[in-house]
Structure 1
Amino acid sequence: MDMTEANTLREVEGTTVGIYVARETPSNDYSDVGVILEGVVVLHDLENVALAAAMLFGLMYGLNMNYPLKLRYTLEVIQKVIMELDASDLSRKAQHLKRKMQE
């Protein structure tokens, strides 16, 4: 979406956890990829979205941050089941999904 600088700043400040992708025009590749934590851009100029995702989970794991409530189980499964970080401590929902994935 086309956003002015003021709109962009307001969206960043309202984001608890996120990855952003900035493009100069909709048709070209991204010009910037970064990570937002608690309304602050903590990493920018990353090479790609996959690296941004890995850095996001690394930061959340390293800083021992709680997941946002609406994304709790999604982020838990990605971090603990898919990325195998702290995989021994799973919620019941994540354990159930992991068993289903192994079948």
Structure 2
Amino acid sequence: MKVNSEKRGLGETRGKRNKVKKPRRCETNFLPNLPQGKDRESLDKEREQIVVEMTKRTPDITFVDAAMSSTYSLRRQEVIEDEPPVSQMKVQWPALFTERQISKEFTRLVSKDLSKSFFEGLDGHLSKLIQLFRSKRYEDIPEMTSILESLDKDPCDGEEDVIKGVVIGILVALVIEEQVIMHHLSDIPNAFLNLMGLVYALNLNYPKELKFTSEVIQHLFIGLGSDSCTARVHSLKSKLLR
């Protein structure tokens, strides 16, 4: 799963990808001021401590949680004002690219629980979505037909044929700006979940090929800005609520 083939922070594109420096996806804590009594230098020292901690085999989760919260404003200034490449962000803020901190960063940014909102929204709309898919014809999309047919089968049927000869299982990974950012994700829904979290945390544009999918996840599943969605997403929302 990939997003943003165009790299940020390089050459003439530096600082120009997202000219609007204000909330655009219902962020409630978009660009906070630095904490009282702290400056960029002191916060950067905390950042360096996080980097060191993340090199340990078993990082101190309590310390990382507190330090990531304390340095949130510095991180947002870097993301919004400097727009560094994602590869650089991963070096400077390695903890941000863990599932735990993606979830916490999302909560800091939009005041919502990412996982809870996503899966509750997905579960709430899933049966209607499947009904909509089944009501359409997909002669030209055999992959979709195969997926719908698989929903009627026992998930264990044919499992032995699928895994026969497989030495290593499928790797679910996220690729952003031509870099593998996260890997060993448990499944596709979890990959989408973390992708959305990183898109928010890094202030990225939705990938063109997943624009409407991303908007559906944002507006209908997570419940952010559901009153200001595009006409296409609003149409889907109306069908799901019938």
Matching residue of 1:67:
206
Give unpaired runs (5+ residues) of structure 2.
5-161
Q: Which letter maps to 1:41?
A: V
Q: Select which of 186, 190, 206 maps to 1:47.
A: 186
Determine if contact 2:3/2:206 at 8 Å carries over to the other structure.
no
Asked which structure has the greater RCO (Cα within 8 Å, sep 6+), the reply is 2
1:74 maps to amino acid: T
Aligned sequence identity (%): 30
* 39-48 or 78-87, which deviates more: 78-87
Alignment match, 1:35: 174
2:233 maps to which residue? 94
Structure 1 stretch displaced more, 52-61 or 80-89:
80-89
AA paired with 1:67? Y
Residue 196 of structure 2 is aligned to residue 57 of structure 1:
yes
The structure that is strand-richer by fraction is 1
Q: Secondary structure at the match of 1:35?
A: strand
Query: How far off its partner does 1:36 sit?
Result: 1.1
Is 2:82 aligned against 1:82?
Answer: no
- Larger Rg: 1 or 2? 2
TM-score by length of 2: 0.30
Indicate how the Cα distance of structure 1 residues 44 and 60 shifts in structure 2: closer, same or farther if over 3 A, else same: same
Cα RMSD of the aligned pairs, angstroms, is: 2.6
Give ranges in structure 1 of 5+ residues lacking alignment. 1-11, 18-25
Post-superposition offset of 1:86:
4.0
Total equivalences in the alignment:
82
* AA at the equivalent of 1:69: K
CA distance in 2, matches of 1:93, 1:31: 33
Q: Could you state the TM-score of these two structures normalised by the residue count of structure 1?
A: 0.61
Report the CA distance between 1:49 and its aligned residue. Answer: 2.4
**What's the counterpart of residue 3 of structure 2?**
16
Q: Secondary structure at the match of 1:73?
A: helix
Q: Deviations over 1:8-31 (max 9, x none)?
A: xxxx9xx536xxxxxxxx624725
Residue type at the aligned position of 1:16: V
How big is each residue's C-alpha offset from its partner over 1:30-85, in whole Å with a ceiling of 9 and x where there is no partner?
A: 25322111211111122232221210111112222212223211221123212324
Tell me, yes or no, if the aligned pair for 2:173 and 2:191 is still in contact at 8 Å.
Answer: yes
Report which of the two has the higher share of helix.
2
